[in-house]
Amino acid sequence: MSELHWGLAGLSVIVVGGVYAYNSWQEYRHRKVAESVLRPEHDDVLLKVQPVRPPVDEAAVERLEPVFAEEGPDLLGAKEPDLELLEESPVYVEPAVQPEVEVAPQVAAEPEQAEPVAAAADAPEPVVAPAAKVEPAAVKEEIAVPDVPVELLDPRIEYIVAMEMIEAVPVRQILASQRETLLKVNKPVHWIGFNETTREWVPLRGEEELSVRRLRIGLQLVNRLGPLASADLVGFTAAMQALADDLTAVADMPAEPVLDQAAAIDRFCADVDLEIGLNLVSRGIAFPGTKIRALAEAAGMVLGVGGMFTRYDDDGQPQFSLQNYENTPLTADGLRNLSTHGLTFLLDVPCVDHGERVFQQMTELAKRFADTLQGALVDDNRQPLGEAQLEHIRREFIGKPQAVMRQYGIAAGSAQSRRLFS
């Protein structure tokens, strides 16, 4: 063997011996550390009040030694544990006394945690309940809009277009938008808007300073000129679409058999559309206009622009009227020099509430006129009207037609009936 081989062999022996010596030293050092930690001579760190500690299980200590030996690499360079710090640390607990030391604090801590939890469970009840009541109420106030009263628009007698706008638009602008087109429609058009201030639907006439976001426009299906025609319906729907475009609005125009509905209502109106007239004729001497005026005004009748006197109820609705039997109208200036041979009392049956009672009042007033003016009550054939004839008229031509109207759902004298029979 060369000197190089001998040198390498010697170096290998030295290295192996050094490693063996180092491992032996580390094992000895770790054993000393374990013995110092687990030796039974020091006092109990948690229960210093007990002068006598139970005997240490030597077998447990011997079982721990290999564990420390295996964990040796993590303890390299570790310092010798300080016994004073170990006594202050709560890590080590004797198995014999552990139930007395740890269980008591745990039992005491459980009620302390249970009480706040119970309080937290009860606390949300008074807080959440008001929130659930207030929030929906605010939303409801924002979006709740009542239906249009049937006194203003009735889907049975009007074709109603609903229109909603993003922003409020002045009423004058709305009514002026399609005025020329709607003038060609031969049926009344009713404009209803929602007043945001009063929270109610109101008729729109154009003279008020009002802006609205919600519109309802009703095309009347029937009046005394007959039912709605197809051309009028086409013109109205075209005007409504143009109005929606002008106002940047959404128009809801229901798809219904409008013309059939108009024809059915017209048949109903024809059955109850009656006007009762009591004629007062002279017996030779003409009635002077001045006396006619004095008697009418004494009865609470008002001379109107239509050339007749009218009596109104407490709500301002007409009950019956008085007109000249001849062709000359009754006017304020003409009554001074007027003389006529007859007068006519008129009662519009479908437009008068409590028609039988009103007819009785009209009959009594006609008799008073007859006595004062020396005239006679006759029918259209100039036949005298006695009590039997008047009772027959009251029952057959007023009571029965108004009963039919009530059964149909449109009472005589209601707002709907006044629109229908306009």
pLDDT tens for 157-169 read 999 999 999 999 9
Sign, Cα dihedral of 342, 348, 353, 357? positive
What is the structure's pLDDT at 270? 95
What is the structure's pLDDT at 12? 81
H and E: helices and strands count for the chain? 14, 15
What is the structure's pLDDT at 57? 53
Is residue 151 within 8 A of residue 216, CB to CB? The reply is no
Q: In angstroms, rounded to a whole number, what is the distance separating the alpha carbons of residues 200 and 266?
A: 31
Task: State in Å, rounded, how far the first CA of the chain is from the last one.
Answer: 142
Residue written as token pair 């009251």: 394
134 CB-near residues (< 8 Å, 6+ apart): none
328 is written with which tokens?
């000359």
Phi, psi of 22 (to 5 degrees): -65, -45
pTM above 0.75, yes or no: no
Helices 355-373 and 289-298 pack at an angle, to 10 degrees, of 140
Q: In angstroms, rounded to a whole number, what is the distance separating the alpha carbons of residues 302 and 296?
A: 8
416 is written with which tokens?
């709907």
The CA-atom distances, in angstroms, between 35 and each of 25, 60, 73, 81 are: 16, 12, 18, 11
Q: In angstroms, rounded to a whole number, what is the distance separating the alpha carbons of residues 85 and 89?
A: 6
Domain boundaries, the chain: 3-88, 158-268, 273-420
Phi, psi of 381 (to 5 degrees): -95, 10
3-state secondary structure of 196: coil
Q: Chain-centre distance of CA 299, in angstroms?
A: 49
What is the structure's pLDDT at 175? 94
Q: Chain-centre distance of CA 272, in angstroms?
A: 39
Q: In angstroms, rounded to a whole number, what is the distance separating the alpha carbons of residues 277 and 301?
A: 17
3-state secondary structure of 255: coil
Secondary-structure class of domain 158-268 per CATH: alpha beta
Q: In angstroms, rounded to a whole number, what is the distance separating the alpha carbons of residues 69 and 318?
A: 118
The CA-atom distances, in angstroms, between 360 and each of 81, 281, 306, 320, 373 are: 124, 19, 24, 11, 20
Q: Is 39 left (phi over 0), alpha (psi -120 to 50) or beta?
A: beta
Q: In angstroms, rounded to a whole number, what is the distance separating the alpha carbons of residues 127 and 393?
A: 71
What is the structure's pLDDT at 133? 46
Phi, psi of 318 (to 5 degrees): -65, 140
Q: Which residues of the chain have pLDDT under 70?
A: 1, 30, 33-143
* Strand stretches in 115-274, DSSP E: 158-170, 189-195, 200-203, 211-220, 222-223, 226-227, 249-252
Phi, psi of 326 (to 5 degrees): -90, 180
Residue written as token pair 């605010």: 138
pLDDT tens for 195-225 read 999 999 999 988 778 999 999 999 999 999 9
Is residue 262 within 8 A of residue 213, CB to CB? The reply is no
Architecture category of domain 273-420 in CATH: 2-Layer Sandwich (3.30)
45 C-beta neighbours (distance < 10 Å), count? 16
What is the structure's pLDDT at 305? 84
CA atoms within 13 A on the CB side of 210: 22
3-state secondary structure of 308: coil
Longest distance between any two alpha carbons in the chain, whole Å: 179
411 C-beta neighbours (distance < 10 Å), count? 15
301 is written with which tokens?
């009748």
